[in-house]
Amino acid sequence: MSSTTDKLKGLANEAVGNIKQAAGKATGNDNLVVEGKAQELKGEAQRTVGEAKDGIASVADKVAGKH
């Protein structure tokens, strides 16, 4: 997966997770709150992977003299 794809999927999972948490809190559904938090954390991890890939590519480019 490309870094951009990782970051976009991460942002989407974070957003959906936040929506689930809000819906769970509004309806008193603790399971939905927990599910939303898990999805939010998954999204944060995906986004971090994408950012790390960007960082690795940047370092590789500098080592190769592309920047």
Taking the C-alpha atoms of residue 15 and residue 50, their distance in angstroms, rounded to an integer, is: 17
Q: Tell me whether residue 64 is exposed, middle or buried, using C-beta atoms within 10 angstroms of its C-beta: 0 to 12, 13 to 18, 19 or more.
A: exposed
How large a percentage of the chain has pLDDT more than 90?
76
**For 4-60, how does the pLDDT look when each residue is reduced to its tens digit (9 = 90+)?**
999 999 999 999 999 999 999 999 999 999 999 999 999 999 999 999 998 887 777
**For 51-60, how does the pLDDT look when each residue is reduced to its tens digit (9 = 90+)?**
999 888 777 7
> So where are the chain's domains?
3-64
Q: In Å, what is the CA distance from 25 to each residue of 4, 17, 30, 61, 63?
A: 32, 12, 7, 46, 49
pTM recorded for the entire structure: 0.80
